[in-house]
Amino acid sequence: MTGNAEAAPQAPRTSNPLRGALVKYCAMALVLFSVLRFVSGRGDWYRAWVYVDLMLGAQIVVGVILMRVNPDLLVERSRLQKGTKAWDQWLAPIVALAGPLAMWITAALEARWFWPPRIDLSYSVAALAVCLLGILLTAWAMVSNPFFAATVRIQDDRGQVVVDAGPYRVIRHPGYTGALAFTLATPAALGSWYALVPAVLTAAVLALRTALEDRTLQAELPGYAEYAARVKDRLLPAVW
Average pLDDT over residues 109-122: 89
**pTM higher than 0.85 for the full model?**
yes
Q: Which one has a higher pLDDT value, 72 or 180?
A: 180
Q: Which of 33, 6, 209, 174 is nearest to 108 (CA)?
A: 33
Among 52-66, 121-135, 190-204, 212-226, the least confident range: 52-66
Residue 56 has pLDDT above 80, yes or no: yes
HEC states along 75-96? Answer: HHCCCCCCCCCCCHHHHHHHHH
Taking alpha carbons only, the member of 116, 119, 87 closest to residue 189 is 119
Percent of the chain residues past pLDDT 70, beyond the cut: 94
CATH number of 17-230: 1.20.120.1630
What residues does each domain of the chain span?
17-230
CB count in 10 Å sphere of residue 101: 15
Distance between CA atoms of 104 and 194, rounded to whole angstroms? 10
Q: CB neighbours (10 Å) of residue 151? A: 21
**191-214 pLDDT tens trace:** 999 999 999 999 999 999 999 999
